[in-house]
Chain A
Amino acid sequence: MKILVCISQVPDTTTKIAFTDNNTKFETNGVQFIVNPYDEWYALVRALEIKEAQGGTVTVINVGPASYEQTIRKALAIGADEAVRIDAEPSDAYYVAKQIANYAEKETFDIILTGKETIDYNGSVIGGMIAELLNMSYVSMASKLDMNGEVATFEREIEGGKEIVETKVPFVASAQKGMAEQRIPNMRGIMQARTKPLKVEAPIDVSLHTAVVSYELPAPKGDVKLVDADNVKELVDLLHNEAKVI
């Protein structure tokens, strides 16, 4: 199986979010960047497991400037065979999906995996866009993926339950919790990652559909109203009469 895993660089989950330039830019100063957890823990690890079971290759692809290479190397350390970086700012989802689809079309992959969403812009759209651009099946929010020859069986989440879905290669799927277990790279992996191929490709021209005009932080919460543990009725009263939620 020839597998492509789309990876995004995102701020670490503990990052305190701040903005600069009159709330138009994300403050990256002092921020630690990581591979988007859904891409790394679930999509990439499952891709490696499929490769380990049936042979093949795992390529990771990222759209980003040269500074993202440190993050891309982490994916190589976990076990991807090679990496591709499309040398451009990941300006909007459509732009990124077009770049990846353009590369994938030339290389013809059997399986294309993404995380269910990135933890920075929470779009949940890249996988579906790539599937449409390449006219492939798309299974979103998959918590299980089993390959049997060319047939893939998924478990995917739906409101109030799960669906068992089947499709054939080639396909695109987005991965979430349940699909695999996070792998910690070992020293050998980290050493090997330094010499694994990381190809840099020029972007294609794509006009942007959307742009972020400004950011805003949620309004700060007022002080918490504490209720005595012996007076639980008061809490119920507050929820009923003051917050009016029950």
Chain B
Amino acid sequence: MKVLVYAESTEGKFKKSSYETILYASKLAKKVSGETIAVSIGNVSDEQLNTLGKYGANKVLKVSEDRLNSFDSKAYSKVIAELAKSEGANIIVLSHNYNGKAIAPRLSVKLDAGLVSGAVELPNTDGSFKVKKGVFSGKAFAHYEIKSENKIISLMPNSIALEENNVTAEIVQSNIDLSDQDFGVQVKEVKKSSGKIPLTEAELVVSGGRGLKGPENWGMVEELAEVLGAGTASSRPVADMGWRPHEEHVGQTGTAIRPNLYIAIGISGAIQHLAGVNGSKTIVVINKDPEAPFFKAADYGIVGDAFEVVPKLTEAIKELKAS
């Protein structure tokens, strides 16, 4: 059984989530005694393509043409579906990230394939094919059986620890005929949030809530994030009041994240907030209210004034990094 995996690149470089999907696909391929075929779309150097072998890709199919330099779910899903057919792959793996969420459902229709989006573990392939994913916005998990012959799994970012799996990948240039009808949208402009770590990919996240009293007090949150190399996030009230941009809002109606470390500062921990972050491996809560419900969901806590604790924490981490 062949496993086809889409490795997304941005400006010619693969992302961490792409390597995660390659590793996941290669582990799955081992389970079903198959091989791992990666698909790369857009201009990517052979040197970059070779890095996919490090995480277990046996073969890399490279599709590049000018029209594919910006993202269009219609064209991208056509490329991936055509390659799955010509390679005879009936399992497809991709990331459950922003673009993955646009491609996966289209592939599901094109290939008449059952889709589980947001998988958090390798499938159980004993007998039936079952995939575990988070449901009820982080409050529970469900085990889905995929009944159709073709299967698609989109992998939740940060769900598999990267490890090298050294395989030498064979790189093959592939061509897919695309007509103008295969394109539907035009990307006019890309605005990068400069220097910031994308929240969904961040392994460490520092988050602030209403307890910080105002947007002018975010300097210390950003400083802590900077010494850690962490992303910054916020609770919903903070985003609603316009203290922070809404893309930083994590929780049930914001972004769901599962970093290795989540530091919550001045956030009480309403059930809706916990839903978006309780997949985090380690949770630290800093709050002056010892009754804050967040402490019940935390691994470590400090009851204290954030304005005193956070600068001290930043200093202590600086010392650790310097030692």
Contact = CB atoms under 8 A, between A and B. Distances in A.
B44 interface: no
Contacts of A209: 108, 112-115, 146-148
13 contacts: A120-B135, A120-B137, A122-B135, A128-B101, A128-B102, A131-B73, A137-B185, A141-B98, A159-B97, A160-B201, A217-B139, A227-B302, A232-B302
A126 B197 CA distance: 29
Interface in B277-323: 278, 281-285, 295-305, 308-309, 312-313, 316-317, 319-320
A94 interface: yes
B109 A129 contact: yes
Interface stretch (A58-66, A165-173, A188-196, A197-205): A165-173
B198 interface: yes
A229 B317 contact: no
Interface in B192-242: 192-193, 196-198, 200-201, 204, 228, 239
B169 to A, nearest CB: 24
Contacts of B193: 160-162
B282 A221 contact: no
A119 B135 CA distance: 8
A240 B320 contact: yes
Nearest to B200: A159
A212 to B, nearest CB: 5
Interface string B156-186: 0000000000000000000000000000111
B105 interface: yes
A213 B105 contact: no
A215 B135 contact: yes
Main secondary structure of the interface of A (DSSP, over half): mixed
Interface of B: 10, 15, 17, 71-74, 77, 96-99, 101-106, 108-110, 112-118, 128, 130, 133-148, 184-193, 196-198, 200-201, 204, 228, 239, 246-247, 249, 252-254, 256, 260-261, 271-272, 275, 278, 281-285, 295-305, 308-309, 312-313, 316-317, 319-320
Contacts of A227: 300-302
A122 B249 CA distance: 17
Contacts of A119: 136-137, 252-253
Return the 7 tightest CB-CB contacts between A and B, nearest first. Answer: A137-B184, A229-B304, A128-B105, A209-B114, A160-B198, A125-B105, A132-B109
A128 B309 contact: no
A138 interface: yes
A243 B313 contact: no
B296 A224 contact: yes
B186 A167 contact: yes
B253 A233 contact: no
A57 interface: no
A83 interface: no
Given A137-B185, A164-B188, 18 more contacts: A17-B140, A93-B105, A122-B136, A124-B118, A128-B101, A128-B102, A129-B106, A131-B106, A158-B190, A178-B246, A209-B148, A210-B145, A217-B140, A221-B299, A232-B302, A232-B309, A239-B282, A243-B261
